[in-house]
A and B are shown apart, each in its own frame.
Chain A
Amino acid sequence: MPLSQSNIRFEKVSKAYGTLRVVDDLDLTIDEGEFLSLLGPSGSGKTTILMMLAGFEAPSGGTISVGSQRIDPLPPHRRNMGVVFQNYALFPHMSVAANVAFPLEMRGTPRLEIDSKVARALDMVQLGAMKDRRPAQLSGGQQQRVALARALVFEPSVVLMDEPLGALDKQLREQMQLDIRALHKRLGLTIVFVTHDQSEALTMSDRIAVFNRGKIEQIGTPREIYDQPRSRFVAQFIGETNLVEGTLAEAGDAGATVKLEGGGTIRVQPSDLRPEAGRILVSVRPERIRLGPDAASENAYPATVTDAVYHGDHLRIQLDNGAFGFVAKADRKTAEFNPGDRVMVSFAPSDCWMLPA
C-alpha cells in the first residue's frame, strides 16, 4: 500500500485505567483517504482508541502522529478532526443551523461564508428544510445526518465516527451506510469508523481492524478478514463458521490434508500455517457447504439433519455426522430438508481454511 504524506500512526500506544489495560501496545497505520473500521465486541477498546485519536484520552504510553507531526500533546480543539459521536452529541440548546455553524464560528469564519457553508452542508445531507429546528424535534436518522454535516462542514481531512449508526433501525442504517460511503469517495476523506456490527464493517470499509481485549487480532481487507481469518476469534466474530479440530497430516503446494478427531480427513487449500504440535482448526463457512444426495467432492461426508429452520431467504440446517456437527445455509430452491433426513455434505478444498487451534 502506498504510504502517503499524512497518514495516521499509532506507535506502541497503550492505555490503562488503573490496572486495567484497555489498549495494549497498539501499532496501527491509517492511510490518507482510507476507510478503516475498528471492529470488535463491546469493551474491546474501540472507543478508547478513537478518543485518544481525538484527544479526549491521553495514552498511557506510546505516540500518535499525523504525517510527521506528533499529535498526542495537542488538545482536542486543535486537532482539526471531525468526530461523530455515539448518540450524535448534538447541542440540544441550539438549532440545527447553529449546530452546524458552531465549528465555523470557532474558526473565525466570516458570517456570510458561514451561512453559505451551513446551507451547503445541510443540503448535502438533505436537511436544508430543517435548519431552524431543535435537535429534539428531529428523528434519529435526521439527527444522525446533522451530526455528520456538523463534523464535515469545516472540511477536516480526518473524520472519526463512533458507532454512528448504532441507534438507527435497519433500513435507515443501510441507507446511511451508503450515504457515508459515497461522501467518503466524493470528499476523499480519511474515515476511522468504530462499529461492533460485522456486516456494517464488511460492506463499508477499505480495511478492517478486528479488536479483542485491546489488541488487534487481525487487520486486512474485508475479503481477507472474512475468507482468511487468522484466529478462532476472528473466524467466529466475523460471520458464522463451522470449526472442526484435527491434526495436520500432510501439506504441499496443491493443498493440505487434515486428519479429524473422529476419523476421516479434510482436504484444505494451501497455507503457510505449520503448527508446532500439528493441531489445527479448519473453518468452513455455512454458505459454502453443499447438500445433496449426489454431492461429489474431495470432501464429502454423510450426515443426518437434526434441525432445519426457515429464514425467509434461506434455510439454516443443523447437521450431525457422528464425529462433528455442521451448520449449513441452503438455498430454498434446492430441496426440502426435514429432521431425520440423511444427506451428503460436501465442500470444496478451496472453501476450507486452516487456522491455529
Chain B
Amino acid sequence: MSETSLKGRLGALALVAPLVLFLAIFFAWPLVSMLKESVSDPVGSHAFPLTAAVAGDWDRQSEPPEALKQAFVDDLRAIDDQQLLGDAVRRLNSAQNGFRTLMSRTIRAVEEQPEGPLDLVAVDRRWADVRFWRAVADSTNPYTDRYLLAALDYERDASGRISALPAETSANTAILLRTLGIGAVVTLACALIGLPYAMLVASVDGWKRQVLLGAVLLPLWTSLLVRTAAWFILLQEQGLINDTLMSLGLIGSPLPLIFNRLGVVIAMTHVLLPFMVLPIYSVLLSIPRNLMPAAASLGAPPWRAFLRVLLPLSLRGVVSGSLLVFMTAIGYYITPALIGGAQDQMISSVIAFYAIGSANWGMAGALGAILLVATLALYTVYGRLSADRAGGR
C-alpha cells in the first residue's frame, strides 16, 4: 500500500505519539508550571476568598467600601488553616510594612468578637490608612507581575507605577549582564581558538586529522563533571599549573586561578570549544578542495586566497558555532558553581539559589522565564541559519 495512505498516516502518528505525550507531561508541563509560578500569587485569593470577590468593586483610591471591610473580617473569622494565614500575613507584610503587628492585633480582635460588625479602626488606627486596604485588595489578585519586574530590578510603587529598584537592592540586572558578559568572553575565546583549529583539522589528513579530531571529540564524550573536576585540580592553589610555573621560577607565589572569573572562563572555554570547532569543521569540509588552488591559479597569493575565499566561506560555521556556544554558556550552572567565586555566579546559579535555597518559586520562575526566552530566541536564529544552509545549496 502507498505510504501516504490513511493507515500510513495513523501508523506514523502512533509511533511519535508516545514521545509527544511523554514530552508534553515531563517537559512542556514543567516549563509551563515554572512560567505559571513566575506570575502566580495565590496566597491572598486562597486566604481571603470573600474579599477577593468584592475587591474588584473598589477603585483603590477612595475610602474602601464597608462591604470590603466586612468581607475581610468574615474571611478572618472563617480561616482555620494557620499555615495559610501565616503565608498571607507574610505576603501582606512584604507589600506594606507593619502588617505583621497589625494583623496579629486584628486577628485577636476577631477572635474576641466572632459575630457581627467590627470597627477595625478602633482595633488599630492603621486600618484608616487606605494603603493597608490597597495591599489587602491587591493581595487577592491571583496573578502578579511582581516577580517578573523584580527579576529585571523593577517594582510597582504604591500607586501601581513601575519604577526601578534602589541601586543597593538591584542585583539581578548586574547578574544578567554578568551572564551575558561571561557568555560573550567564552564565545570569543572559543572562536579565536576554534576557527584556526578547525582550519588546521581540515588542512591535514590521515592520522593527523584523526588525532586532531579525537582531541576535540574525547572531551566532548567525557563527563562534564570530570572535566570540571580536572580543571579544579589544575587551577587550584597547589594545582599543576601553579606548581609548574613556580618550579620554572616564572612566578614567586601562586596565581589566583580558581574561584574567580579567569578560572570560569578557562574551564568553560575548554568545555564548549568542541561546539565551536565541529560546526566550523563541517562547513570547511563542504568547501570544495580545489577552491584554494583555483584562487591561486587566478593569481591570488595564499594570504589573499585565504582572506577572500576560505575565511568568508567558513564564517557561517563561526556564526553557527558562536550561537551554539553562547546559548549553552548563558545557561551554565555546574562549571561556575564549582570553579567560580561568589562574584562569578551566573543567572542559573541565582535561579538554583531561589529554587533550592529559599523555595522562592516566583523569583526562580521569573528568572527562569528570562533565561528560557533568551535561549529559545538564540536557538530560533540558529535553526534559521542551519535551515538556510541546508536549503541554500
Contacts and interface: CB of A to CB of B under 8 A. Distances in A.
Interface in A31-67: 55-58
B307 interface: no
Contacts of B3: 56
B61 interface: no
A252 B1 CA distance: 54
A73 to B, nearest CB: 9
Interface in B341-362: none
Contacts of B1: 55, 58, 75-76
B363 to A, nearest CB: 52
Interface in A224-265: none
Contacts, number: 9
Interface string A141-164: 000000000000000000000000
Contact-residue bracket for chain B: under 10
Nearest to A52: B2
A1 to B, nearest CB: 32
Contacts of A55: 1
Interface string B224-267: 00000000000000000000000000000000000000000000
A66 B3 CA distance: 23
B380 interface: no
A58 B7 CA distance: 13
Interface string B5-32: 1000000000000000000000000000
B321 to A, nearest CB: 35
Contacts of A56: 2-3
Contacts of B5: 58
A300 to B, nearest CB: 54
Contacts of B2: 56-58
A76 to B, nearest CB: 8
B209 to A, nearest CB: 25
A135 B5 CA distance: 33
A56 B3 CA distance: 8
A56 B5 CA distance: 11
Contacts of A76: 1
A56 to B, nearest CB: 7
B228 to A, nearest CB: 41
Interface string A74-88: 011000000000000
A55 B1 CA distance: 6
A168 B3 CA distance: 30
A76 B2 CA distance: 10
A318 B2 CA distance: 50
A57 B2 CA distance: 4
Contacts of A75: 1
Contacts of A58: 1-2, 5
A118 B5 CA distance: 36
Nearest to B5: A58
Interface in A323-343: none
A57 B5 CA distance: 10
A338 B21 CA distance: 78
Nearest to A51: B2
A76 B3 CA distance: 12
A236 B205 CA distance: 49
A156 to B, nearest CB: 20
B53 to A, nearest CB: 57
A56 B8 CA distance: 12
A55 B3 CA distance: 10
Nearest to B1: A75
Interface string A163-203: 00000000000000000000000000000000000000000
Nearest to A17: B4
**Residue with the highest number of chain A CB atoms closer than 10 Å, among B1, B3, B5:** B1
B10 to A, nearest CB: 16
A316 to B, nearest CB: 34
A128 to B, nearest CB: 37
A76 B5 CA distance: 14
Nearest to A73: B1
A57 B4 CA distance: 9
A64 to B, nearest CB: 13
A75 B2 CA distance: 9
A118 to B, nearest CB: 29
Nearest to A15: B2
Contacts of A57: 2
Nearest to A56: B2
Nearest to B2: A58
A57 B1 CA distance: 6
Nearest to A75: B1
Interface in A205-227: none
A56 B1 CA distance: 6
B100 to A, nearest CB: 70
Nearest to A59: B2
Interface in B69-100: none
A55 B5 CA distance: 13
A58 B1 CA distance: 6
9 smallest CB-CB distances across A and B, nearest first, come from A58-B2, A57-B2, A75-B1, A58-B1, A58-B5, A55-B1, A56-B2, A76-B1, A56-B3
Given A75-B1, A76-B1, 7 more contacts: A55-B1, A56-B2, A56-B3, A57-B2, A58-B1, A58-B2, A58-B5
9 contacts: A55-B1, A56-B2, A56-B3, A57-B2, A58-B1, A58-B2, A58-B5, A75-B1, A76-B1
